[in-house]
């Protein structure tokens, strides 16, 4: 879906910490998280059990925050730079089904509720002139139009917070810079 790619964000971080130290610290955090499987591990932020490392690539396919699904994934790539440090390029990818599905369900739920409330007296004239009908349809339109952009903004913010917290947990306190859209 090319139209959905415009909602994805790219980030960049440059740090003095070598790439090998970052990878080793992440591997250690992942090993600790996999040993801790109690009830409180469900609410860990970030959840290192969801992170996988493949060479210089780090992936988080299902992002959870405080026990709830955020609706996206994060892909990162580490590389060494000339200054004896490393660079991290990250891309957060929204799952559009996680954004649009609640809006569509809300729309259908409102339609269903409206239909059940109005069914006993449902005639053409009552639909056209009834203030309840007009307000219900207006509410549906406003809900759908406002929910989707707000959900996109909040999901991108949560993905960036998750990305930042992964590296804060291993001692890298620099902030990610958002790269311009391509």
pLDDT in tens, 58-89: 888 777 665 556 678 888 888 887 777 788 89
The arrangement of strands across the sheet holding 51-54 comes to 51-54, 57-60, 72-80, 86-94, 9-15, 177-179
Class of domain 2-95+158-179 (CATH, top level): alpha beta
CATH 3.30.160 segments of the chain: 2-95+158-179
pLDDT band at 38 (very low <50, low <70, confident <90, very high): low
Report DSSP state, residue 174: P
Nearest-CA neighbor of 164 among 50, 88, 55?
A: 88
Q: Which residue has the higher pLDDT, 165 or 38?
A: 165
Provide the pairing of β-strand 68-69 with 57-60: unpaired
Please count the other Cβ atoms lying within 10 Å of the Cβ belonging to residue 42: 11
Contact 76, 61 (CB under 8 A): no
What pLDDT score does 65 carry?
Answer: 62
pLDDT of 27 over the 70 cut? yes
Q: How much is the pLDDT for 86?
A: 86
pLDDT of residue 160: 87
Higher-scoring residue by pLDDT: 85, 167: 167
154 and 9 in contact (C-beta within 8 Å)? no
| Interval 110-143: pLDDT, tens | 777 777 766 666 665 555 556 666 777 777 777 7
Residue 127: predicted pLDDT: 55
- Is the pLDDT at 21 greater than 80? The verdict is yes
CB atoms within 10 A of CB 34: 11
Residue 12 has pLDDT above 80, yes or no: yes
The average pLDDT across 28-36 equals 83
Distance of alpha carbon 63 from alpha carbon 74, whole angstroms: 8
């Amino acid at each position: 879906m090319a139209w959905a790619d415009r909602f994805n964000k790219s980030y960049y971080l440059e740090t003095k910490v070598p790439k090998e130290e970052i990878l080793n610290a992440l591997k250690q955090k992942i090993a600790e998280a996999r040993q801790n499987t109690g009830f409180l591990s469900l609410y860990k932020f970030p959840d290192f059990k969801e992170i996988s490392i493949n060479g210089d690539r780090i992936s988080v396919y299902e992002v959870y925050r405080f026990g709830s699904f955020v609706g996206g994934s994060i892909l990162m790539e580490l590389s060494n730079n000339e200054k004896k440090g490393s660079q991290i390029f990250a891309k957060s990818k929204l799952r559009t089904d996680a954004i649009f599905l609640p809006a569509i369900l809300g729309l259908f739920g409102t339609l269903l509720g409206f239909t059940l409330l109005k069914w006993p007296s449902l005639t053409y004239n009552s639909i056209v002139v009834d203030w309840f009908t007009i307000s219900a349809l207006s509410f549906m339109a406003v809900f759908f139009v406002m929910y989707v952009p707000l959900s996109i903004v909040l999901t991108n913010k949560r993905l960036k917070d998750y990305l930042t917290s992964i590296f804060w947990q291993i001692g890298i306190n620099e902030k990610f810079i958002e790269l311009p859209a391509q």
